[in-house]
Amino acid sequence: MKYMLIMHMNPVVWDGLSEADRNAIMDGHGGFMAAIKESGEMVTTHALSAPENSAVVRVRDGVPAVTDGPYVEAKEFLAGFYIVDCESKERAYEVAAMIPDAAYEGFGIEVRPIMFSAGLEM
């Protein structure tokens, strides 16, 4: 089954980390990706830009309205995600725990089963 491993990040916590810790997290993603590619569980990954670079589109009375910035004010934001194909939810939890961010306070990895996908085959 495919799972989305959603990386939540608190920018205040990120800014408070030492440069060594920030580098360890970033470098750790390379090792993590190599491991899940080797196991055959890697489908894809995407890192997202900071929320201040986003926009929200709403349609009101048939007219699109674009608002700069994130949809909601929150301490944490969606920083990126991995799509993995694991034999069980327990394995998906194990894989999520391998993501370097999971070891730091203020970060979390949400594991969510993918119910449907369309478009390019994953």
**pLDDT at res. 54:** 86
CA pair distance 15, 39, nearest whole angstrom: 33
Asked, for residue 122, whether it belongs to a domain, the answer is no
Question: Would you state the structure tokens that stand for residue 111, as one six-digit string?
Answer: 């594991």
**pLDDT at res. 44:** 95
Asked, for residue 6, whether it belongs to a domain, the answer is yes
Asked, for residue 119, whether it belongs to a domain, the answer is no
Q: Which residue has the tokens 């926009």?
A: 55
- Per the document, the length of the chain is 122
- Structural domain including 47 reads 2-10+20-76+85-113
Q: What is the mean pLDDT of residues 98-108?
A: 90
Asked, for residue 118, whether it belongs to a domain, the answer is no
| pLDDT at residue 57 greater than cutoff 60 | yes
Which has the closest alpha carbon to 99: 37, 45, 32, 51?
A: 32
Question: Would you state the structure tokens that stand for residue 96, as one six-digit string?
Answer: 């999520």
Own/partner pairs for 42-46, CB < 8 Å, 24+ apart?
42/82, 42/84, 43/2, 43/82, 43/83, 43/84, 43/85, 43/122, 44/82, 44/83, 44/122, 45/80, 45/81, 45/82, 45/83, 46/80, 46/81
Supply the CATH number for residue 34's domain.
3.30.70.1060
Q: How confident is the model at residue 121 (pLDDT cuts 50, 70, 90)?
A: low
Which position has the higher pLDDT, 120 or 94?
A: 94
Asked, for residue 120, whether it belongs to a domain, the answer is no
**pLDDT at res. 13:** 87
Q: What is the mean pLDDT of residues 59-75?
A: 80
Asked, for residue 36, whether it belongs to a domain, the answer is yes
CA 14 to chain centre: 15
Task: State the total domains in the chain.
Answer: 1
Asked, for residue 72, whether it belongs to a domain, the answer is yes
